[in-house]
Chain A
Amino acid sequence: MTAPLGRVVATERRPNTPHEFHFWTALDSPVGIGTIVRVDGRDAVNGVIPHVYGIVTEGFSWTDLATPLHDVMGHDGQPGSQVAVTDRAEIRLYTAAVLRHIPEEPLQPVPMGAVFLADEADVHVALRMDGYLKEGSRTGIPVGVYRAGGTDAPIYLDADFLLGPEAAHLNITGVSGLATKTSAVEWLLQSIFTHFPAQKGSIAAVCFNVKGPDLCFLDQPGVIDDADRALYDQCAVPAEPFSDVRYFAPYKSDGVSLNTLRSNEALLDNVTSLTWGLREVLQYAEVLLNKDDIDAKADALIDFIKENVLDKRFTDPMLDRPHTVASFADLDAWFKDVLRALEKKDDQSWRTHHVATIRKVRNRLSNISLRCKGLVADDGATSDLPFGSFSDRTVYVIDVAGLEEDAQDLVFARVVTKLREHLEKRDLGVQHVVVFVDELNKYAPGDGPETYVRKMLLDIAERGRYLGLVLFAAQQFRSQVHRRVVGNSGTALYGRMDGDELATPGYAVLSPAIKTKLATLEKGQLMVRHPHFTQPIFVRFPRPAVMRGRDGVSQYPQAAAPTLHAAVLRTLRVLDPALTLGWLEDVTRLATDEEILRARNAMVRERPNDVRRAFASHFRASVAPRSATRAPTPAPLPALPSDDPYGF
């Protein structure tokens, strides 16, 4: 049996309660803030010696000095004067918050007794992990390793409470620049993919890369050291990059090159363009149009277009011709026709829609294709995530870092809505999806106007766990995120925190010592809150075994902007690797750039079996050049005889 490291003490002024107790230790004890300890009671209750588990939340130290002035006097006012031959009596007193009582009833104040450092088994019991680490019904997901006083114990989250259905969602807070938030998510995803219980089915992750190259190299190995490897070993997670990652990125405004930092030729095999047409965008017009844009009249016209115009043959006696609107270009032609008709008749309204409303909606909708150029194709071409055929243990990264804010919102809203729709219908391809969103305070702020994205995030936070749609969200300032979003996150991780943030009311439940520890956390350390843990726990996690964004950018520099033909060929080769640049140049010799891009988009959309023929069919057949040759001269007619009576 190990020796006790402290003793419980209680006084009338500082009594113990069922949720808090105090103990003192030797001056050289390894106890610190966040250390888990076990108290063995002295007296049996109902025949059982009580054991109480607690975590140190506060520490005090003092000597027998009655006032600091006595020390000044003792040194004659000279701090550097002779050192006293005896050190004053000194105490290390700690306050611990109770994690668990064994037995749980009757719940009594913590008894006097010896205090021991918790070993790994104690940690399991203290954090109630014993309930979900049983063989046969194991649902533990390692989140890191608890380290204190020589005890190393992996800490597990309960998959039922992290990924549903009991509770779900994860929120990560921490200051920027310490690689905590993104690294923690990368590590945790790897851990989830390794330990996700078989009985819960399949799982995939959709990550939105909203800034820089953070998530652009998840399939490339990163640099980790022996200490990291030890943590991986302890958590039984392979120290490897993700084996199956698929990237999606919109085009740049030129429609040729992909708008991502992962554009190096060597890495393009799993990068797919993300392109949406009018149909996809109009469903989420609310995301891109603000309240001033969409009054009741405009809303009515947009609904009319969605119901009666989009993807249908639309005829009207007033219009010059029938319209089938499938793209922004078609829509603009339809608007022009309607307005021309109104001008011709000198009328102010058409089908109850006022001409001003029509002009306004035309202006706003047409504007979308400009604001989201690269993502939204004028011609209705669509290249999307593989909704319906998601793969187990696969990470889908959508790189929206290069997009305007509106376009980011659009991508986010549409992707998440589609995920929800497919999960509701159980036809996504996997049963659980983790959606990782950084900068949550931008998408779901605590104040500001109600936006579509915020409403959608609230919906996921409150109902997603029943569907298997789990939100992993990160932000620098948790206090600035909508309360219902963070409140519904069953699990919360905290990296190093800013002092101002810690001063906000949301952190009032933490002791000053815990706040100090949070403000000085090292890289790779997290504070974890989880439904099974009655108090926050500090853990260490390894560096993710994936290439860091900035390393990836230097190792795989961005490709130079490709020529139109090179870019198109790259896309088409995904469908038919045998295609050559010479063939492409021949086929498109007489085509404009727009025609070539339209043909490419059609290939991506239709994915034909015979790409060569399908692509060529979009262009006029070119005539092979031939050198002019003189036509063979017919043999000269014989000269007429001079005596021919019929000759003229």
Chain B
Amino acid sequence: MHSIVASGAALNARTLQRELTGLLPEARTVDGESTLELTTQGNDAPRLMSATVVEGDRLQAFQVAGESGPGFRAFLDGTQKSQVVCFVGSAPVVLGTVAAAVRDRRERRMHTWRTPLIEHNVYVPRAFLSPHAWATLERRLGDTLIDTTDGLPDIISHPYALRDAAFHRVQFRREGVERRLAEQWCADESDALFIDGGISGSEPVAVSSLTVGVVKSHRTLYAEGEALGTVLGLQYRQRSSVFRITSPKRTTVASWYLRIRNPDGHDPMWGLVRAEVAYPGPSRMADLGARADDVSRWILAEASPLALPDGRWDKMVYGVRDCEEFLRAIT
């Protein structure tokens, strides 16, 4: 049995609503609102970015040969849920819950590795709240109260803008708990960890030989022109050449695209994932192709069992779905 570590007393939307209406007479509760994950997600504009190919001189498709065997011992994923519980004037008060867990595979069965992380926080735009209201909330909520306008001097008072700001704060917190768990793994374990999403957000994680990030969403595609055609034309069990992803705020990683399901009859993104691994030093650069093949085989091995009924099952591996189901059960 694992205990849950929360950053404060566990909150639920109805309790919070009841308390806030008592504390702030001007608060207007809302009922039946969808979570912000459903209303806000996917607002980022699609974009294409060029990336430097580090395996050969141009982006090509390679067949991933050989038997696919399991190479990952564990899977890491996080979840978030943000819900508007009331408005104080035009300011939304959002209850956000983030959680992350590593599910460890032993004897083909999934078990929870160490303690999953869960945080409940209340996200409020301080700039649009009266000092009295903020002080009242701060007295009641303490450290769990988060100002969504902190560092955003130009934010407008449009409720949607304030709601998006809250959503992004929750997203940031979720990335934070994921990162903490991944760093614990890298510090204490010696087997490969499958991380749902990129790994470049944390230096220790991004440089570890244990971590493999697998990205399912492709709002940003790291290919343009002919290279884009190559990526979208990948067949089942084909991967692209390895390329380098660099970002001023993130650690450089090596990445490649991989088709884990037959795309015939489907859209170009069907079964397409992008893998991220630590960028090797000059002495290991020659092995990068072989490393990409190994990791691709590991990822292909995870294609069964299917992650159905999740709608993203073509790209999602079962271990990640298991993490999500586990987190859904405990949050």
By a beta-carbon cutoff of 8 Å, the part of chain A in contact with chain B is 27, 64-67, 70-71, 73-75, 82, 84-89
Instruction: Enumerate 8 A-B pairs (CB-CB under 8 Å) in ascending A order.
Output: A64-B321, A70-B309, A71-B305, A71-B306, A73-B308, A84-B318, A87-B109, A88-B318
Check A70–B308 contact: CB distance below 8 A: yes
Does B105 touch A at the CB level, under 8 Å? yes
Contact, CB under 8 Å: B309 / A85: no
Chain A residues with Cβ below 8 Å from B127 are none
Smallest Cβ distance from A552 to chain B, in angstroms?
54
Given A64-B325, A84-B318, A89–B110 Cβ distance below 8 Å?
yes
User: How far apart are the CA atoms of A70 and B69 in the complex, in Å?
Assistant: 21
Q: How far is the CA of A73 from the CA of B318 in the complex (A)?
A: 14
Residue in A66, A67, A75, A86 whose beta carbon sits within 8 Å of that of B322 in the complex: A86
Contact of A85 among B304, B306, B325 (CB under 8 A): B304
Residue-by-residue, is B301-327 near A (CB-CB < 8 Å gives 1, otherwise 0)? 110111011000000001101100100
Residues of A within 8 A of B308 (CB): 65-67, 70, 73-74
The contact string, 1 if C-beta is below 8 Å from chain A, for chain B 280-317, is 00000000000000000000011011101100000000
A74 touches B304 (CB 8 A): yes
Indicate if the CB atoms of A85 and B301 lie closer than 8 Å: yes
- Chain B contacts of A89 at CB under 8 A? 110, 322, 325
Chain A contacts for B306, CB-based, 8 A: 70-71, 73-74
State A647–B322 Cα separation when bound (angstroms): 156
CB distance from A77 to the nearest CB of B (A): 13
Most chain A beta carbons < 10 A, residue from B105, B305, B308, B318: B305
Complex-state Cα separation, A82 to B321, whole angstroms: 20
Partner of A66, one of B105, B302, B309, B325: B309
Q: Which residues of B contact A (CB under 8 A)?
A: 68-70, 105, 108-110, 301-302, 304-306, 308-309, 318-319, 321-322, 325
Measured in the bound complex, the distance between the Cα atoms of B325 and A89 in whole Å is 10
Tell me whether B319 and A86 are in contact (CB under 8 A): yes
Q: Are A86 and B318 within 8 A (Cβ)?
A: yes
A416 CA / B33 CA spacing, docked (Å): 79
CA distance A64 to B105 in the complex (A): 17
Give the residues in chain B near A70, CB-CB below 8 Å: 306, 308-309
**Docked pose: A88 CA to B319 CA in angstroms:** 9
**Residue in A64, A86, A88 whose Cβ sees the most chain B Cβ within 10 Å:** A86
Q: Are A82 and B304 in contact (CB under 8 A)?
A: yes
Chain A nearest CB from B93 CB (Å) reads 29
- Complex CA–CA separation, A71 to B306 (angstroms): 7
Q: In the complex the two chains form, is B325's CB within 8 Å of A84's CB?
A: no
Give B302's nearest chain A residue, CB to CB.
Answer: A85
B303 to A: closest C-beta gap in Å: 8
What residue of chain A has the Cβ atom nearest to residue B68's Cβ? A82
How distant is B264 from chain A, measured CB to nearest CB, in Å? 13
**Chain B contacts of A73 at CB under 8 A?**
306, 308
Distance (whole angstroms) from the CB of A68 to the closest CB of chain B = 11
Q: How far is the CA of A73 from the CA of B305 in the complex (A)?
A: 9
Q: Hey, which chain A residues are within 8 Å of B110, CB to CB?
A: 86, 89
Q: Which of A74, A85, A88 contacts B70 (CB 8 A)?
A: A85
Inter-chain pairs besides A74-B305, A89-B325, 20 sampled, C-beta below 8 Å: A27-B109, A67-B308, A70-B309, A71-B306, A74-B308, A75-B304, A84-B304, A84-B305, A85-B69, A85-B105, A85-B304, A86-B109, A86-B110, A86-B302, A86-B305, A86-B318, A86-B319, A86-B322, A88-B305, A89-B110
A residues near B69, Cβ cutoff 8 Å? 85
Q: Which residues of B have CB within 8 Å of A88? A: 305, 318
Task: List, in ascending order, chain A residues with CB within 8 A of B322's CB.
Answer: 86, 89
Chain A residues positioned under 8 Å from B325 (CB to CB) = 64, 89
Q: How far is the CA of A87 from the CA of B318 in the complex (A)?
A: 9
Taking the closest CB of chain A, its distance from the CB of B86, in whole angstroms, is: 27
Nearest B residue to A4, CB-CB = B1
Instruction: List B contacts of A65 (CB < 8 A).
Output: 308
Residue of B nearest to A76 (CB): B304
For the complex, what is the distance from the CA of A647 to the CA of B306, rounded to whole Å?
Answer: 155
Q: With both chains docked as a complex, state the minimum distance between the C-beta of A442 and any C-beta of chain B, in angstroms.
A: 56
Q: How far is the CA of A89 from the CA of B301 in the complex (A)?
A: 18
Q: How far is the CA of A64 from the CA of B109 in the complex (A)?
A: 13
Residues on the A chain within 8 Å of B318, using CB: 84, 86, 88
Q: Which listed residue, B68, B108, B309, touches A86 by the CB 8 Å rule?
A: B108
How many angstroms between the C-alpha atoms of A66 and B70 in the bound complex? 25
- A70 to B308 alpha-carbon distance, docked (Å): 7
Neighbouring B residues of A71 by C-beta, 8 Å: 305-306
Query: Which residue on chain B has the smallest CB distance to residue A86?
Result: B318
Listed residue (A64, A65, A82) with the most chain B CB atoms within 10 angstroms of its CB:
A64
Closest chain B residue to A85, Cβ basis: B70
**B107 closest partner in A (C-beta):** A87
In the complex, chain B residues whose CB is within 8 Å of the CB of A84: 108, 304-305, 318
Cα-based distance from A85 to B304 in the complex (angstroms): 7
Residue of B whose beta carbon sits closest to that of A74: B306
Which residues on B sit within 8 Å (CB–CB) of A85?
A: 69-70, 105, 108, 301-302, 304
Inside 8 A of B304's CB, which chain A residues have their CB? 74-75, 82, 84-85
A166 to chain B, nearest CB (A): 47
Measured in the bound complex, the distance between the Cα atoms of B321 and A65 in whole Å is: 12
Q: What's the Cα separation between A88 and B306 when bound, in Å?
A: 9
With A and B bound together, what is the CA distance between A64 and B319 in angstroms?
12
Contacts of B302 in A (CB 8 A): 85-86
Per the bound structure, the CA–CA distance linking A82 and B306 in Å amounts to 13
Docked Cα-Cα span, A82 to B300, in Å, equals 12
Measured between C-beta atoms, what is the minimum distance from B314 to chain A in Å? Answer: 11
How far is the CB of A89 from the nearest CB of chain B, in Å? 6
Choose among B110, B302, B306, B319 the residue with the greatest number of A CB atoms under 10 Å from its CB.
Answer: B306
Nearest CB in chain B: distance from A9 CB, A: 12
Which of A67, A75, A85, A88 has the most chain B CB atoms closer than 10 A to its own CB?
Answer: A85
Contacts of A74 in B (CB 8 A): 304-306, 308
Pick from B68, B108, B301, B309: contact of A87, CB under 8 Å: B108
Please report the C-alpha to C-alpha distance between residue A89 and residue B109 in the assembled complex, in whole angstroms. Answer: 8
CA distance in complex: A88, B308 (Å): 11
Residues of A within 8 A of B321 (CB): 64
CB distance from B324 to the nearest CB of A (A): 11
Q: Could you tell me the distance in whole angstroms from the C-beta of B73 to the nearest C-beta in chain A?
A: 11
A85 to B325 Cα, complex, angstroms: 18
Q: What residue in chain B is nearest A87 (Cβ atoms)?
A: B108
Min C-beta distance of A172 to chain B, whole Å: 44
Q: How far is the CB of A85 from chain B (nearest CB, A)?
A: 4
How distant is the Cα of A65 from the Cα of B319 in the complex, in angstroms? 14
> Within the complex, what minimum Cβ distance (angstroms) separates B230 from chain A?
26
CA distance A548 to B306 in the complex (A): 58
**3 pairs of A and B residues whose beta carbons are closest in the complex:** A66-B309, A85-B70, A70-B308
A86 proximity list for chain B (CB < 8 A): 105, 108-110, 302, 305, 318-319, 322
Residue of A nearest to B72 (CB): A85
Residues of B close to A27: CB separation below 8 A = 109
Q: How far is the CB of B301 from chain A (nearest CB, A)?
A: 5
Alpha-carbon separation in the docked complex, A75 to B305 (Å) = 8
In whole angstroms, what is the CA distance A269 to B48 when docked?
106
> CA of A88 to CA of B105 in the docked complex: distance in angstroms?
11
Q: How far is the CB of B69 from chain A (nearest CB, A)?
A: 8
Q: Which residues of B contact A66 (CB under 8 A)?
A: 308-309
Residue of B nearest to A69 (CB): B308
Complex Cα distance, B110 from A27, in Å, reads 12
Residues of B within 8 Å of A64, CB to CB, are 321, 325
Task: Enumerate chain B residues within 8 angstroms of A67, measured Cβ to Cβ.
Answer: 308-309
Q: How far is the CA of A499 from the CA of B301 in the complex (A)?
A: 45
A70, A73, A84: which has the most chain B beta carbons within 10 Å?
A: A84
| B194 vs chain A, min Cβ distance (A) | 11
Nearest to B313 among chain A residues (CB) is: A70
Q: Nearest Cβ distance between residue B285 and chain A, in whole angstroms?
A: 30
- Among B68, B110, B304, max chain A CB count under 10 A is at B304
